[in-house]
Structure 1
Amino acid sequence: MKQLVRTAPAVLPAALRTPLAMSGALATAVLVALAILHFHDSGLTGVDAAVLPSLDGVEPPWRYVALVIDFGGEPVGSVVLVALIAGVCILARRARTAVLTVLGVLVTVAVTTLLKPIVGRTIHGEFLSYPSGHTALATALALIIGLLLADRLGLGRASAVPLVLGLALIAGIAMGWAEVALGAHYPTDAVGGFCAALAAVPATGWVVDRVADRL
C-alpha cells in the first residue's frame, strides 16, 4: 500500500494548487465571517429571512427528492458514498485520491462538528445548525470526484478549475437546498458548510501529497 501511495499521481496537480489555495482562503474568510455574524444568534435576518420562507417545508414530490439527497449526508449514506468513491479511486490506480476521500471527509466533518458548539447557532430552538455538515460532506465528495476526473482526463488549469469548482458548487447547492427545504438548516448554514469543505479538502490534499512524497 505504501508503494501504491508513493507512486500514485498527486492529489493536487500543480495546475490546481494555486487556484484551490486561493478559493480555500476565500472560503475560510467567508466561513469565519458568517460564524462571527451568527455567533449565538438564531434570528431570521438578512439572506435567511429572504430565502428561507420560500424553501422551508416543500411539499411532495420535491420533499421526496430532498429526502433522497439528504440521505447521502446521513451516516449510512455517507459511508456508502465514501467507500464507493474510494473503491473507484483504487481501481483507477489513484491511491492518494482514495486516501483523500477518507481523510478529506473526516477533516471536513471534524471542522463542521467542532464549529457548531463554538458558534452556538440553533434552529428550532435546540439543534445546532452552523455550519451544515451535510452540505460540507456533499461538497467535499464532489471536490474529490472533480480532482479525480481532472487527473484522469489530463485537463489543464483552464478546464480543470471550472470542472472541480463547478461540481463542488452543484453538490453544495443540491444538498444545501435539501437541508433548507427539510427545515434542518438556514441558507447561510449551507453556505458555511460549502465553505468548510472548500477550505478543508484542498488543505488535506496538500498534506496527503507531502506525506506521500516522503514515503
Structure 2
Amino acid sequence: MTGRSVPAVLPPSLRAGLGLVAALAALVVVVLGAMYAGHSRPGTVDRWFVDPTADSVRPPWRHVALATDFLGEPAGAAMLVVAAVTGCLLLRRPRAAVLVVVGVCMAVGTTSLIKSLVGRTIHGDGNLSYPSGHTAFLTALALMLALLATGRLGLGRTAGTLFVLAAALAAGAAMGWAQVALSAHYPTDVLGGWCTALAVIPATAWLVDRIADRIADRIADRPVDRPVDRVADAGRQERP
C-alpha cells in the first residue's frame, strides 16, 4: 500500500477550480497592495461602507464583534488551531492536521510579509493594516476544514467548490465585519486578507499532498527485512 491510498487534503476534483480562484485572489492582493501602498487614510472604496476611524458599532453588537475579534488574537487562534488539529487526528486524517498547522502559519506569515512591503497604516504610523491578518486566519481555517469535510462527504467538483468557497466567505465576512466595526482595519484590508487566504491555502494543500505522497512512496518502496529472510541468510552464511 502506498500513500496514494490516503485521502488527499486537496481533492483532485477541486484542484483546477481552486487553482483558478487562488490565482485571481493573488491578483487582487497585488492590485490592492499597489493601490494603497504607503497610505494612511481610507480610500474611496472604504468610504462607501463606513468611516473606519469611527466607532461604528454599539452594544450588544460590539460584544459580538469583540468575541469574533478574539478568535483572531493569539490566545483565541491557538485554541481554534488546537481544536482543529485534535479533530483531524480523531478522524484519522493526519494530513489534514499537518495542513491546519502549516496553512495557518503560511496565511499569517504571508499577511505579515505583505504588511511590511505595502506599509499601509491605520490610527498611526505603527499600525500596519493591509492585509487583515485576523481575516486571513479565520478564512484560512474555515477553508481547510471545508476541504476536510468535502473529502469525507465525497462532494463532487461543483458542490465541493461551492461548499469550500461558501465556508471561506462566511468566515471572512464574519471576521471582516468585526475588524471594520472595531475600527481595526479598512474594508479593503479585509478584502486583502480574505484573498490572501484564498491564494495561499490551495497551494499549501497541494504541496502537503505532494510531500506526503513522496514520503509514503519512499517508505513503501523500501525492502522489508522479514525475520524469515534473516534466518535464511544466517543459514546460508553457516554453510561451509
Q: TM-score, normalised by structure 1?
A: 0.95
Q: Would you say the 8 A contact 1:8–1:95 is kept in 2?
A: no
Gaps of 5+ in 1: none
Q: Distance in 2 between matches of 1:29 and 1:152?
A: 31
Q: Distance in 2 between matches of 1:202 and 1:213?
A: 17
How far residue 193 of structure 1 moved from its aligned partner, in angstroms, is 0.3
User: What's 1:120 paired with?
Assistant: 119
- Over the matched positions of the two proteins, sequence identity in percent amounts to 54
AA matched with 1:177? W
User: What's 2:221 paired with?
Assistant: none
The RMSD of aligned alpha carbons is 1.7
User: What's 1:179 paired with?
Assistant: 179
The equivalences for 1:28-67 within 5 A come to: 28-53=26-51, 56-57=54-55, 58-67=57-66
Rg comparison, structure with higher value: 2
Aligned CA distance change for structure 1 residues 56 and 209 (closer, same or farther; 3 Å): farther
Gaps of 5+ in 2: 216-240
The equivalences for 1:51-200 within 5 A come to: 51-53=49-51, 56-57=54-55, 58-126=57-125, 127-200=127-200
Cα deviation, 1:33-88, whole Å, max 9, x if unaligned, reads 00000000122222101112389521101000000000110001101101111111
Q: Secondary structure at the match of 2:200?
A: helix
Q: Distance in 1 between matches of 2:54 and 2:160?
A: 35
Aligned CA distance change for structure 1 residues 55 and 4 (closer, same or farther; 3 Å): farther
User: What's 1:22 paired with?
Assistant: 20
Cα deviation, 1:177-205, whole Å, max 9, x if unaligned, reads 00010110000000000011001111110
Cα deviation, 1:83-135, whole Å, max 9, x if unaligned, reads 11111111111111110000000000010011111100000122100000000
Q: Would you say the 8 A contact 1:5–1:96 is kept in 2?
A: no
Q: Distance in 2 between matches of 1:85 and 1:4?
A: 26
Q: Would you say the 8 A contact 2:142–2:171 is kept in 1?
A: yes
Cα deviation, 1:137-192, whole Å, max 9, x if unaligned, reads 01000101110111111111121011000000010010000001011000000000
Q: Would you say the 8 A contact 1:56–1:180 is kept in 2?
A: no
Aligned CA distance change for structure 1 residues 214 and 54 (closer, same or farther; 3 Å): closer
Q: Secondary structure at the match of 2:155?
A: coil
Count of aligned residue pairs for this structure pair: 213
AA matched with 2:129? S
User: What's 2:233 paired with?
Assistant: none
Aligned CA distance change for structure 1 residues 167 and 38 (closer, same or farther; 3 Å): same
Q: Would you say the 8 A contact 2:42–2:51 is kept in 1?
A: no
AA matched with 1:179? Q
Q: Distance in 2 between matches of 1:184 and 1:23?
A: 27
